[in-house]
Amino acid sequence: MEGINPDAMTSLDIILVIGLVLAALVTVMAARVLRSAIGLAVASLVVSIMMFRLNAPLAAVFELSVCAGLIPVIFISVIGLTRRLDTEALTVRRHAKWRRFWPLPVLVLVVCGVLLVVRPVMDVPPPVAAAAAGGVREVLWNLRHIDLIGQIVILLVSAFGVVILVKETNRG
Amino acid sequence: MGSQEMALSSLFGLGVVGVLIVGFYSLVSTRNLIRVLIAMEVLTKGVTLLLVTAGYAVHRIALAQALAITLIIIEVAVVVVAIGVILCFYRQRKSLDTALLRDIKG
Amino acid sequence: MLEWFILVPLAAVVLLNLPGAEFLRRRGAVVAALLGAVQAAVVAATPAAVLSRAGFIDNVLHLNLRLTNLSLVMLLAIGLALAAAAMVVQPMLADARRRSNYVSVLLVAMIGMNGMVLVTDLFSLYVFLEVTSIASFILIAFSRQKHALEGAFKYIILSATATVFMLSAVALLLMMAGAVDFDSVAAALLTKTSGTMLPARIALGAFLCGLFIKGGLVPFHGWVLGAYSAAPAPTSVLLAGVVTKVSGIYALLRLTISVFPPSLPLNQVLMLVGAVSIVVGALAALGQTDMKRLLAYSSISQVGYIVLGLGCGTDLAIAGAIFHVFNHAVFKSLLFVNAAAVEQRLGTTDMTRLGGLGGRMPLTSTTSVVGILSTAGIPPLAGFWSKLLIIVALWQAGFYFYAGLAVLFSVVTLAYLLVWQRRVFFGQTLPSLAGVREATAWLSVPEIILAGLTIAVGLAFPFLANTFLLRLHGGY
């Protein structure tokens, strides 16, 4: 049964968080877009592991298959389709990029440091009733039908979007 | 709610903050449309993790998972449509430079 | 019964895209216009109690939808704007298949907006917000021309930013309340003492940032110009008419009324943002030479009025704000249809190339005057009453500066709109435009109906004021 044993914070968790931030940094600061896409996959992998750690296996699997699998694949194929920019970017922009991005790790460290010190901000008051709501996520799918309808509609309309935007037409 | 769960949540929350900072910084400073989209993905990832962590902290992990899964599905749809726009844009302009976006008057 | 507001457009989308439904597809715009009109009619004519009755679907699906007076007004506005947009599509898109694709996505936008105003859960609100947003992305980028794509992408970026803000707020609220539906969160927030309210304040602030982005308020209005002006005409009608109102303003209303307890800083922030939007939008509109861009800035300004009223917080002010939401849906849609009519006949929205169309397009010109007068708040049109309510409420609550500002910028509004009217419709007909005809019926009919509506509501308001105000006062 989930959540009964107190989930002690282990050093693995600290590694995960640091790994996540590093992966995000690499994703954002990589010289080549392709590396960014791969960085995204790695970051998603770390998030997935973190979700497993939070007793959220179903979400973790979704995150893994979609965000670490499907989406990077989409990105990589699009990068392939728009290759022309890449070669220019390499030569001209690599140095500019590092110079532009150096504030970022500093910023992250500073903010996280501040937050670690000013801990009271993070102490959210305990919720009203900490009752475990009968736990099984299938039960939830019985309660959130409206979201399901929304998702179906969204998937439907994104299909339209692809057809409308991407499909080649014979235009003058 | 044990303090250990709180500690774990706080730790992961810190990670979320870091991820969000990275994402926003990239969003405003990048010059490549695809990177903009990747930055958006990073941000969404951060928020998804935040939701699951929040749910974990208050013993509502089942609800949080449902929300996270819905969010991931929505995220895919947004990426797909955005990629469609990018591809269309690329076909016309042969470039992925965000400077072109500032060019309102054409 | 409420689920039909979502299921009927969905069924229409499915039907339109079945193989062999060619007959329907060719008349896609008619189908959508009918749906919009029927929705408006049903909402106007059916008592809320009947609409809220549980149907057989409720045994199968637990949808948790709720109809409030506010939802009723929004549904009416959505129906009207959608019908107007659908009618504008017909002449603007010649190819039947593209038109049917457009209509399908348009109907999805309808699903999204209807869903937004009926759900009772913060996350479901977000889900349907995204439905509307994604549909909007596609509708803006539809023409696949570079400006449309730019406008769409800017909207995508800002929309994603808004998403991050709002979902962060939802996560915080989940931590405070253990649930994400309106009632649970409201109940949890009420029990908080002022000492532990900080996370709630952060959540509210984050949510506000997200909603200001979606509503197109200053300083988050960066996407509005590109999207409104570069989007195809029917999309502009829809965006200006209802999308920003529903995604931004309705959500704001719903939050401040049903979820967050009232607080002074919130009101002050709202009034400030509203006032700044009024000023920036109006001043920027003064210098515009393109019709749609002028109208885009005008919309920013008008939404500022709505938020200013919201911020004031008194019953009268909120009633005025909601009324202005409805009126704006009518008169802004009207003005964008006018712009579409000009665009259809002349192929341009650049005011420097136009002049003296009044003689050639009398209907468009006249309805445009009606729209302008209503926007500027001239009696006896509907816009006058809603602005009056807001200004009076501000004065009564002691916000003399804001009230004066509102009045002053009504004058500015009139100024820039009259400039539009004069440049485009009045004066000598340019020789190059001599052969121009009036717009087709597809555009003229919505013009007439919308203009008629704003006149009728304006004339009837003094008589309906009591019933209307009481209704809103009784509960949103």
Q: State the pTM of this model.
A: 0.91
Residue where the block lists tokens 């309906």: C464
- Residue of C433 and C383 predicted with greater confidence: C383
- Residue of B7 and C86 predicted with greater confidence: C86
Chain C contact set for B93 (CB, 8 A): 146
* Distance (Å, whole) CA C35 – CA C196: 47
Boundaries of every domain in chain C: 265-476
Q: Is residue B100 part of a domain?
A: no
Q: Is residue B104 part of a domain?
A: no
Number of domains in chain B: 1
* Confidence class for position B104, pLDDT limits 50, 70, 90: very low
Boundaries of every domain in chain A: 11-119
pLDDT of residue C409: 92
* Distance (Å, whole) CA C424 – CA C29: 28
Closest chain C residue by Cα to residue A167? C144
Do you find a cis peptide bond into A72, omega within 30 degrees of 0? no
Closest chain C residue by Cα to residue A139? C62
pLDDT at B103 over 60: no
Q: Which residues contact C294 (CB under 8 A, 6 or more apart)?
A: C285, C288, C351, C416, C420
Q: Is residue B32 part of a domain?
A: yes
In this complex, is the C-beta atom of C159 within 8 Å of any C-beta atom belonging to chain A? no
**Partner-chain contact C149 B89, CB within 8 Å:** yes
**Partner-chain contact B66 A137, CB within 8 Å:** yes
**Partner-chain contact C124 A146, CB within 8 Å:** yes
- The yes/no answer on whether domain A11-119 falls in CATH 1.20.120.1200 is yes
In this complex, is the C-beta atom of A132 within 8 Å of any C-beta atom belonging to chain C? no
Q: For residue B11, give how far its alpha carbon lies from the nearest alpha carbon of chain C (Å).
A: 15
Q: Which residues contact C104 (CB under 8 A, 6 or more apart)?
A: A160, C13, C16, C17, C28
Where in the sequence is the domain holding B56, given as residue range(s)? 3-95
Chain C contact set for B53 (CB, 8 A): 171
Per-residue CA distances from C60 to C121, C181, C405 (Å): 19, 20, 53
**Partner-chain contact A153 C112, CB within 8 Å:** yes
Q: Can you read off the two tokens belonging to residue A80?
A: 């392939």
User: Got the DSSP string for C143-211?
Assistant: G--HHHHHHHHHHHHHHHHHHHHHHHHHHHHHHHHS--BHHHHHHHHHT--GGG-HHHHHHHHHHHHHH
* Distance (Å, whole) CA C27 – CA C32: 9
Touching chains, A (3+ CB pairs < 8 A): B, C
In this complex, is the C-beta atom of C429 within 8 Å of any C-beta atom belonging to chain B? no
**pLDDT mean over A147-172:** 84
The neighbouring-strand residues paired with C290 are: C350
How do residues C91-139 score in pLDDT, each as one tens digit?
Answer: 888 888 888 999 999 999 999 999 999 999 999 999 999 999 999 999 9
Q: Can you read off the two tokens belonging to residue C21?
A: 């439904």
pLDDT at B71 over 90: yes
B78 → closest Cβ in C134, C164, C226? C134
Provide the CATH number for the domain around residue B63. Answer: 1.10.287.3510
Q: Can you read off the two tokens belonging to residue C56?
A: 């057989």
How do residues C401-433 score in pLDDT, each as one tens digit?
Answer: 889 999 999 999 999 998 888 888 887 777 777
Q: Which residues contact C447 (CB under 8 A, 6 or more apart)?
A: C334, C337, C338, C341, C363, C364, C367, C439
pLDDT of residue C246: 85
pLDDT of residue C472: 60
* Confidence class for position B1, pLDDT limits 50, 70, 90: very low
